[in-house]
Amino acid sequence: MRAMPTTVTAVTALLLLTACGGENGGDGAKDDAKQESGACSTATVSVEVGPASEAPAAGDNGEVPVNLVNQGPSCVLDGFPGASLVAAGGEPVALAPTDGATAQKLTLPEGGSASFTITYVRGPEDAGRSLDAKTLEIGLPGDSATRDFPWSYGPVANQGEGEGTATGTGTADATVSAFQRSGD
């Protein structure tokens, strides 16, 4: 008969430890919610482009900040932002990550914000040597949808020698930084 109370005590202790969140002592429900957060989506994250530090002349560098605010439930940014420039009637030209940048996984709670920066070199007004960008496409990792914004910062230089980017071929001399947490 004494074995029964010991078994009941052991089961009760196990249930209490599980309810307290286990090893980390945290709230099990909150830990589960963090693990279940899905990828952030352009449907629930507001995106604002600019104001930019525009490159004034060909060969000069410019920076375009992009700010994000999560309007929905907690979500995850895992990887680099998707950013492409598009000339009128051209195909999107994807921007590579900034040299040396490392993507980090960020969880954005509802109302949480993050940002990234597009850095570019302004090109000459010569269609054969520059991408005459008209649109900036922004996408989030894990989300296939994109949002379009007008590109009003002038043509973007062609990176290196070779085929031009006037109609969306070649490589634009522009990069995208990793996400950074912003705000409080």
Instruction: Please check whether residues 124 and 140 belong to one and the same domain.
Output: yes
pLDDT at 25: 40
Q: Which tens digit of pLDDT belongs to each residue from 152-168?
A: 999 999 876 544 444 44
Q: Enter the DSSP assignment of 89.
A: T
pLDDT at 183: 73
Instruction: Please check whether residues 131 and 69 belong to one and the same domain.
Output: yes
Instruction: Please check whether residues 116 and 50 belong to one and the same domain.
Output: yes
What domain range includes position 26?
3-36
Q: Which tens digit of pLDDT belongs to each residue from 10-59?
A: 333 333 333 443 333 444 333 333 444 799 999 999 999 998 899 999 99
Q: What is the mean pLDDT of the chain?
A: 79
Instruction: Please check whether residues 10 and 72 belong to one and the same domain.
Output: no
45-69 core/surface letters (b: 16 or more CB in 10 A; e: else): bebebeebeebeebeeebebbbebb
pTM higher than 0.75, yes or no? Answer: no
Instruction: Please state the domain count of the chain.
Output: 2
Instruction: Please check whether residues 91 and 120 belong to one and the same domain.
Output: yes
pLDDT at 7: 41
Of all residues in the chain, the percent with pLDDT exceeding 90 is: 60
Instruction: Please check whether residues 84 and 156 belong to one and the same domain.
Output: yes
